[in-house]
Amino acid sequence: MKFAIIAAGEGSRLQEEGIESPKPLVEIRGEKLLERLVRIFRQNGAEEIVIIVNAHTPRTERFVKTLEGDDLRVVVKSTPSSMHSFFELSAFLTDAPFCLTTVDTIFKEEAFAAFIEHFKKSEADGCMAVTDFIDDEKPLFVGVDSDFLITNFLDERQDCRYVSGGIYCLKPAALQTLRRCVESGQSRMRNYQRALIAEGFRLEACPFSKILDIDHASDIAKAEEFLQGDKVS
């Protein structure tokens, strides 16, 4: 199984709030966000880890080069959206199931390990992390049926309990849909997820108690408090 990290954001809101480091290099409990994900992915059996970093953030690019291991592949390119960043990574993901997330996604390590193990055994076309903890400025609500198969992705809550957690486990067939989305001018990950449903992919919702993103300086303290008790190894 492969893992992919979108670390191409500049973290402009963090910089406006006094955080000097590029978002991938922001530290949570003494560990850089990018470093943390690489460690966790390796602990979960990563055959290969593919990372995209922004061409305009040389500090991040330099840091990635200090990470040891033959399992790392790095793309340096500025893209207009996270979906385009995913598209740049997709060339490395055609031959094995994979897990994709952005560099600032914060989750409990035990919950993530259980999620990956579930995906490996699942007969669904993909497994999407969801949570009923809502702390996002523009959450993507997720409709599910009684079997926890995803029925839709919505901008408005309606009767949805869950929102997307931004961690996607997929099989290579889903990359064909990604290509079609890019070629048709789509640019948002939520539109890609909707396209998967429209094309008949069976996507399973996998609940996490809480998932956080680091969008503001105040989120750093929230993340450290949330992870209190998790062992950094």
Q: What is the pLDDT of residues 75-117, one digit of tens each?
A: 999 999 999 999 999 999 999 999 999 999 999 999 999 999 9
Q: What is the pLDDT of residues 187-232, one digit of tens each?
A: 999 999 999 999 999 999 999 999 999 999 999 999 999 998 766 5
Q: What is the pLDDT of residues 37-61, one digit of tens each?
A: 999 999 999 999 999 999 999 999 9
Of 76, 35, 74, 46, the C-alpha closest to 58 is 76
Contact 153, 194 (CB under 8 A): yes
- What is the pTM (predicted TM-score) of this model? 0.95
pLDDT recorded at residue 232: 55
167, two tokens: 């961690």
* Domains, the chain: 2-226 (3.90.550.10)
What is the Cα–Cα distance from 64 to 2, expressed in whole angstroms?
A: 18
The 8-class DSSP code of residue 149 comes to B
Q: What is the pLDDT of residues 141-165, one digit of tens each?
A: 999 999 999 999 999 998 999 999 9
